[in-house]
Amino acid sequence: MARLSSADLQLFVGGQLQFIEVEQLPRVGPIFNSRSCGACHFQPALGGSGAFINEVRVRNNTAGGPLHIFAVDNLLRAGPQTQGPSTILPNGLESTPIGCQITSPNCAQSACQQEEAIRTTFATDLELCDPTSTSFAAGANCTAERQATPLFGLGLVEAVADSTFNAIAAGQPPEIRGIVKTVNELSAARVGRFGWKNDHATLRAFSGDAYLNEMGITNPDFPTERSTCALNESQFGVVLDTDDDPEDEPDDDGRVDADRFADFMRALAPPPQLAKSGDAHAGHLLFATIGCAGCHVENLTTAENPAAFIPPTTSGIAISTTLNTLLANQQFSPFSDFLLHDMGSLGDGITSDAAGPTLMRTAPLWGARARSRFLHDGRGATIAEAIALHAGQGAAAAAAFQGLSSIQQQRVIDFLNTI
């Protein structure tokens, strides 16, 4: 973000370094999906999305959270390696990819992965969820795939007052009115705005949740391991997991890693808009005319004093006055209302508190030109395909887009490729 103070820039850089750090045993795991934040948030730059599906959820997993495809007891392979009379790599080799993917039918699962499959009710033959199907209505288990969400500009989103989201919902026509999801987070009721189901309202909680659920690292806000399957066990002389929770401890500055991740995300600039051609300007008008702007709200404004509700670090350090001033009263253009909408068959089939199977957060469209896949599970290969797949409350706008001429449709796409 431009105009950061030197102190805020230092926090941003420190968070960036922590964001790309690759975690090692016994800290990572025992079950996890990646060993660094940057492994899933890298496209088109650090802090973006990914080029692949980063997460799988299972409908009947009552414990919530993602399926973890890697486990520490399947991380090291083959034992000590020798070359002639010398022992090299005495602790074994790390497999590539890390361990054995639980989603592979031909994979010999480790004990931790067998436990994970049972815990999450996962099986390799489960179909993708369609929450409008007869099998779903009959209670069939199914899976949902999710891409990592881009993190650019989220400091501004965090700085929007709850009342703004309530006002947007109140002003929307009943047929497309979004749902404000309130989450109890860090000892306060807040409006959710982060994640595909609006599970979090603050970057601190968003970070801590991902640290535990994606990397298996306990932290002050999420101090309980998801599994003890490898506790105090060793392979080839390497300890796999220890009982030292929370593993994310404060550094000399009083910040834990989850605080550092929030520092980094809070100062990430929004995607820059490109100059618009005449066709793109025409597409902008069409975007509003056909109803896309009803949910993909162009402009939001941050609060006068974001520090009043942005939580401090886990040790109580508030955001700086300079950063608070920089975040305050800023109009920005995410092209999202950050509300939940009933998307019909486009819903992921997963229930997350008040967000039912068909409810999904409106995806911000800024930076769409840099995405390789679209929608929560990447099923849209192009912008046009993603629009066509809109159902539920998005069906009318999708139909209106289909009713445009091919030239008009291209103008809308030209516009979206500038934001």
Asked if residue 16 has pLDDT above 90, the reply is: yes
Whether 408 is in a domain gets the answer: yes
Q: How many CB atoms lie within 10 A of CB 389?
A: 16
Query: What is the C-alpha separation between 386 and 115, in angstroms, rounded?
Result: 36
Distance, in Å, from the CA atom of 191 to the CA atom of 198, rounded to the nearest integer, reads 8
Reading the block at residue 104, the tokens are 């592979």
pLDDT of residue 329: 99
In a domain, residue 22? The reply is yes
pLDDT digits 0-9 by tens, 245-294? 999 999 999 999 999 999 999 999 999 999 999 999 999 999 999 999 99
The span from the CA of 385 to the CA of 223, in Å, is 41
Average model confidence (pLDDT) for the chain? 94
Residue 237: how many CA atoms within 13 Å on its side-chain side? 8
Is 268 in contact with 152 (CB distance < 8 Å)?
yes
Amino acid at residue number 54: N
Instruction: Show the tokens assigned to 138.
Output: 């009959």
pLDDT grade for 91, boundaries at 50, 70 and 90? low
- Number of domains within the chain: 1
% of the chain at pLDDT higher than 70: 96
**pLDDT band for position 170 (cuts 50, 70, 90):** very high
Could you give the angle at the alpha carbon of 90 between the alpha carbons of 87 and 96, nearest 5°?
A: 115
Tokens of 181: 């999801």
Task: Report yes or no on 40 lying in a domain.
Answer: yes
Q: Does residue 87 register a pLDDT over 80? A: no
Whose CA is closest to 158, among 200, 187, 186, 121?
A: 200
Phi, psi of 200 (to 5 degrees): -135, 150
417 against 91, higher pLDDT: 417
d(CA 339, CA 362): 6
Domain that holds residue 140: 6-416
Q: Which of 78-82, 140-144, 297-301 has the lowest mean pLDDT?
A: 78-82
The DSSP bridge pattern shows strands 70-71 and 31-32 to be antiparallel
Residue 33 confidence (pLDDT): 93
Q: Which residues contact 368 (CB under 8 A, 6 or more apart)?
A: 374, 383, 416, 417, 419
- Tell me the per-residue pLDDT of 337-372, one tens digit each, with 9 for 90 and over: 999 999 999 999 999 999 999 999 999 999 999 998
pLDDT single digits (tens) 171-198: 999 999 999 999 999 999 999 999 999 9
Instruction: List, for residues 18-32, the tens digit of each pLDDT value.
Output: 999 999 999 999 999
Q: Is residue 120 one of the residues assigned to a domain?
A: yes
Which pLDDT does position 99 carry in this prediction? 66
Q: Which pLDDT score, from 0 to 100, does residue 380 have?
A: 95
Integer Cα distance of 269 and 253 in angstroms:
25
Residue 101 confidence (pLDDT): 77
- For residue 74, the model assigns a pLDDT of 84
Q: Is 359 within the bounds of a domain?
A: yes
Cα 290 to Cα 150, 296, 397, 407, 416: the distances in Å are 26, 12, 6, 15, 14
| Chain segment 93-131, per-residue pLDDT in tens | 665 556 677 877 777 788 999 999 999 999 989 999 999
Alpha-carbon span 406 to 264, nearest angstrom:
41
Query: Is 1 part of any domain?
Result: no
369: amino acid identity, one letter: R
